[in-house]
């Protein structure tokens, strides 16, 4: 069963349990007809239609927190994003070279990269001075693209393959005016070569360029389980390594960090922790428990 199907089933079950009638239209909708989302040229570029981020579907897919945890999580993301924004646009600290290109990485799969990418992007997009582009660069497992109904749509891989293609035209506006999305694109056996190509560097630079206010967040494949991820680390100006609390074995994390040696900006996010931690690199304690052990709101 695909992620989308699982999400839809979970949503339908929840609706049945709550006595809410099932509408039967739980697949994320693309709204090309809506004026705001039509393929009108923006900045001289004709774009593909925009999308609505269906919160229910994203929640059922486990990519957004349950509504009752949203406030807590948004406070935690505010703390996480603050230093990242600083380095990206030079707010309060010197701007880092390519700091606006933020890669969300982890040693293994299942540590929360996709969850972190989406929630961080949404948190960044609340800052009205910023423009945020979320890129599904997990070409090996493009979960975001699938959940958003864009699994078969052209995206990053297509732009990498076709130098004549304007990557800007493949970016989808969303119902969050400051947030846009670039899907992974259509699968390819030579993904690693494409991601490590000079064209990738060129595209990354183009993605960040439009007005100097755009922050690009890359959801990415695991550092230790794929060959695509190391290719991406070269284009990112900031790398956030997601570490799943009480799950990622220390030697595994150290191996992952070894692959990033020499990178000027690596920070760690401790995900799904019930405690706040501060040490070493930048460590941000965050996460929420579904059980009773919730982090202290002020310390998270």
Ligand X SMILES: Nc1ncnc2c1ncn2[C@@H]1O[C@H](COP(=O)(O)OP(=O)(O)O)[C@@H](O)[C@H]1O
List contacts with ligand X (CB under 6 A). 62, 106, 109-115, 143, 271-272, 287-288
Under the criterion CB under 5 A, does residue 116 sit at the interface with Mg ion? Answer: no
Q: Is 125 or 240 the residue whose CB approaches ligand X more closely?
A: 240
Going from the C-alpha of 1 to that of each of 6, 9, 62, 72, 244, the distances in angstroms are 6, 10, 15, 31, 25
Under the criterion CB under 5 A, does residue 273 sit at the interface with Mg ion? Answer: no
Residue 64 to residue 70: CA distance in whole angstroms? 8
Q: Give least dist CB 288 to ligand X, A.
A: 6
Placement of tokens 């460590």 in the chain: 283
Q: Is 123 or 143 the residue whose CB approaches Mg ion more closely?
A: 143
Among ligand X, Mg ion, none, residue 237 binds (CB under 5-8 Å by kind)? none
Q: For residue 66, give the 3-state DSSP assignment.
A: coil
Phi, psi for residue 214 in degrees, rounded to 5: -90, 130
* Residue 280 region by backbone torsions, left for phi larger than 0, else alpha for psi between -120 and 50, else beta: left
Q: Are 153 and 145 in contact (CB under 8 A)?
A: yes
Q: Give least dist CB 256 to Mg ion, A.
A: 15
Residue 3 to residue 228: CA distance in whole angstroms? 22
Q: Is 87 or 271 the residue whose CB approaches ligand X more closely?
A: 271
Measured at CB, which residue is nearest to ligand X? 62
Sheet holding 101-105, edge to edge: 172-173, 179-182, 131-136, 214-219, 101-105, 238-244, 266-271, 283-285
Q: Give least dist CB 62 to ligand X, A.
A: 3
Q: Is 106 or 174 the residue whose CB approaches ligand X more closely?
A: 106
Under the criterion CB under 5 A, does residue 271 sit at the interface with Mg ion? Answer: no
Residue 158 to residue 15: CA distance in whole angstroms? 38
Binding Mg ion (rule: CB under 5 A), the pick from 76, 106, 114, 238 is 114
Among ligand X, Mg ion, none, residue 229 binds (CB under 5-8 Å by kind)? none
Q: Is 143 or 272 the residue whose CB approaches Mg ion more closely?
A: 143
Residue 82 to residue 147: CA distance in whole angstroms? 28
Question: Where does this chain touch Mg ion (CB under 5 A) — which range of 100-108, 141-149, 157-165, 284-292?
Answer: 141-149
Under the criterion CB under 5 A, does residue 180 sit at the interface with Mg ion? Answer: no
């Amino acid at each position: 069963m695909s992620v989308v199907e699982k999400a839809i089933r979970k949503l339908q079950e929840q609706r049945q349990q709550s006595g809410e009638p099932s509408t039967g239209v739980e697949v994320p909708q693309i709204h090309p007809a809506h004026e705001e989302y039509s393929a009108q040229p923006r900045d001289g570029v004709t774009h593909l239609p925009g999308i609505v981020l269906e919160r229910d579907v994203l929640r059922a897919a486990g990519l957004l927190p349950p509504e009752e945890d949203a406030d807590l999580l948004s406070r935690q993301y505010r703390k996480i994003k603050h230093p990242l924004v600083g380095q990206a646009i030079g707010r309060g600290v010197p701007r880092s070279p390519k700091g606006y290109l933020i890669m969300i990485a982890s040693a293994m799969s299942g540590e929360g990269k996709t969850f972190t990418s989406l929630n961080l992007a949404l948190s960044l997009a609340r800052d009205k001075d910023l423009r945020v582009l979320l890129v599904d660069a997990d070409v090996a497992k493009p979960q975001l693209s699938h959940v958003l109904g864009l699994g078969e749509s052209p995206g990053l891989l297509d732009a990498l393959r076709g130098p004549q293609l304007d990557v800007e035209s493949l970016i989808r506006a969303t119902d969050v005016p400051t947030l846009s999305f670039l899907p992974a694109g259509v699968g390819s056996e030579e993904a690693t070569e494409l991601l490590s190509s000079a064209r990738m560097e060129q595209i990354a630079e183009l993605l960040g360029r439009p007005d100097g206010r755009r922050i690009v967040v890359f959801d990415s494949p695991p550092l230790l389980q794929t060959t695509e991820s190391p290719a991406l680390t070269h284009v990112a100006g900031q790398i956030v390594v997601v570490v799943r609390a009480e799950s990622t074995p220390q030697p595994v994390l150290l191996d992952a960090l070894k692959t990033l040696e020499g990178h000027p900006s690596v920070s760690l996010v401790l995900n799904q922790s019930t405690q706040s931690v501060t040490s070493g690199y930048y460590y941000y304690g965050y996460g929420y428990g579904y059980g009773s052990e919730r982090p202290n709101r002020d310390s998270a």
